[in-house]
Amino acid sequence: MDAKRLVHRLVVSQGLHEWQVVRRHGPPLEVGGEEVLRPNVHRHGAGLGEGGAQDLSTPLVEVDERAFRIHDERGRGELVRQIAGKDQDQVPLSHGLGLGSRIGRSKDSGGALARLFAAGLALNIADRLHLEVPLGVNSSRSGRAAPSPELVRARVRSLPRRFRQESANGLAAEWELRVGRQRFAIRVADHACTVQEGASVAPQTVITTEPATWIAIDEGLIGGGQAFLERRLRATGNLDLAVRLQTLFRPYRRPRRIGDLDHVEVVAGGVRLSSYVLGRGHPVVLLHGLGGTKITWLPLLPGLSEGHRVIVPDLPGHGDSDKPRADYSPRFYARAVRGLLDQLGVTRAVLIGNSLGGRIALELAVRSPGRVTALALLAPSVPGFRWRYLMGFTRVVPTEVGAIPFPLRERWMRVAIRRLFADPQRLPPSAYAAAAEEFIRIYRDPVARMAFFSSLRHIVTERPEPFYRSLPKINHPALVLFGENDRIVPPRLGIRLAQHLANATYVALPQVGHVPQFEATRPTLETLLEFLAAAPPGKPKF
């Protein structure tokens, strides 16, 4: 490997147990022609990055050879790396996605995996490399033993007794839950829940975690969405069902509290809307972007819900909400959001919108100013951006073209999703795979594709002049937040928007793209909380 390519991060994992090492200083060493990492590294502790800011985007594997991964995945037939246990002063790394990588060199490599992930981790490596041991790992540094298989089995099998029929609302779904080496099939249908040991035959969602995390989720100590963001839980398939699973059962050790995450379905204007509702306080409504779902707001939910009642819908035509034959104009979406507020008994709310969601928030503020307390607009898709070259195409091609079968390739989706980020390597490949799989799941439906195409048509054909003439009607406190490296909507349009709003503040985040809630979670959350604290609370009605 070229010595100029300094390895700055190493990720060691056993199943879902990951330890991260961050390079601080010192040139790379070489042993036998292989580059090695000095043991004088900086601990990347407890998910905290530079300055103690929470870092939810540390990559696991990067194609530019800046990170490597070592697996113990014998049960899945994946490659098992040989790890020696004596000389831990040197950590040889071979290049290329961690394939063939190994830690240490020693004549005695027998039992290396066991030594590394048991006493070897705590005694031989942790003190030298200052490795972070995550919550729930059975080690001397975590100070707690992993829950037994018997405890996990008993908790999972108790789910039918704690099933909340009222939250299912006619749901029919199947999950495969993988906790350590145990497998369970969880089925909800006909207002009842059943659990069977063993793999599911046809799961809509597969959830994988380790015992300590599952017990914490089961007891209501942590949300499944939070565990997913902290990479203590993995989900494939229907991500909404993965988050929703926890809402279907009462926590094991405590009653449900007002403000716990719940799934709510309402019918507004004949359209069924699927939403998350959580927290207590003045209502805050989060509106996602084109092609997104309520899942895109997961990073902000824990922080925003501490002092607010947070309402997170799937917009019509998106996610698990209805996809009616409609024009999907900003006016149509604004009516749907107003209907949602009516059904939930909310008179006024703060609207926070990303991309298309920001444009919808502006439309509702223009048409129903009395329903809006304040606006926070994250990279709103206002008229005038560079997709205008699609204008002629979308004007002449009917919306029904979306019904034509089109092969959605996961690889294409990953590339498209990566463009939303200024630095795509801030998220692991598994995150892009999950997002691509979710998009393909939804847009296999031709009706969903028609809704997407109709929404896109309105975005790219909207004329700037009428839009900007309507903005003087908005006197609400407004925050316009853009990533400086947004490749979808140019930040200059955000500056122009803020100049046309009577009471707006513009904030730019450096080295951030189109989805700041994912790429820069902490600064985005802090900016939003500061804005919400300064905005007038209004008079919420529940």
Q: Are strands 91-93 and 34-37 parallel, antiparallel or unpaired?
A: antiparallel
* Cβ-Cβ contacts under 8 Å for 257 (sequence gap 6 or more): none
- pLDDT given at position 101: 31
Say what angle helices 410-418 and 429-443 make with each other, to 10 degrees: 120
- pLDDT given at position 399: 54
- Stretches where the chain sits below pLDDT 50 are 1-143, 388-389, 391-394, 396, 539-542
Q: Give the Cα separation of 61 and 11 in Å (integer).
A: 8
- pLDDT given at position 418: 83
- Enumerate the domain spans of the chain: 9-129, 149-248, 262-383+463-534
Q: Give the Cα separation of 232 and 239 in Å (integer).
A: 15
HSE value, Cβ hemisphere, 13 Å, CA-based, for 431: 25
Helices and strands in the chain: count of H runs, count of E runs: 19, 20
Q: Cα dihedral angle (271, 277, 283, 288), rounded to 10 degrees?
A: -60
| CATH of 262-383+463-534 given 3.40.190.10, 3.40.50.850, 3.40.50.1820, 3.40.630.30 | 3.40.50.1820
Question: 348 has which bridge partners?
Answer: none
For 176, phi then psi, to 5°, come to -110, 120
State the alpha helices, DSSP H only, in 369-515: 391-396, 410-418, 429-443, 446-461, 464-470, 491-500
Instruction: Please tell us whether the domain made up of 149-248 is placed in CATH 3.30.1050.10.
Output: yes
Q: Are strands 282-287 and 308-313 parallel, antiparallel or unpaired?
A: parallel
Outline where DSSP puts E strands in 231-326: 233-237, 262-268, 271-278, 282-287, 308-313
Longest dimension (CA), the chain: 76
Q: Are strands 308-313 and 271-278 parallel, antiparallel or unpaired?
A: antiparallel
- pLDDT given at position 441: 79
- pLDDT given at position 406: 62
- Mapped onto helix, strand or coil, the DSSP state of residue 494 is helix
Q: Give the Cα separation of 489 and 386 in Å (integer).
A: 8
pLDDT tens for 363-399 read: 999 999 999 999 999 999 999 765 544 544 445 455 5
Taking CA atoms, 43 is separated from 6, 307, 320, in Å, by: 17, 32, 41
- pLDDT given at position 11: 35
For 447, phi then psi, to 5°, come to -65, -40
What is the secondary structure of 195-219 as a DSSP string?
Answer: EEES--SS-SEEEEE-HHHHHHHHT
359: number of Cβ within 10 Å: 25
- pLDDT given at position 397: 52
- Nearest Cα neighbor of 435 from 283, 242, 254 is 242
- pLDDT given at position 222: 86
- pLDDT given at position 419: 85
* Spatial contact of 393 and 500, defined as CB atoms under 8 Å apart: no
* Spatial contact of 378 and 517, defined as CB atoms under 8 Å apart: yes
- Nearest Cα neighbor of 277 from 251, 310, 300, 252 is 310
- pLDDT given at position 144: 59
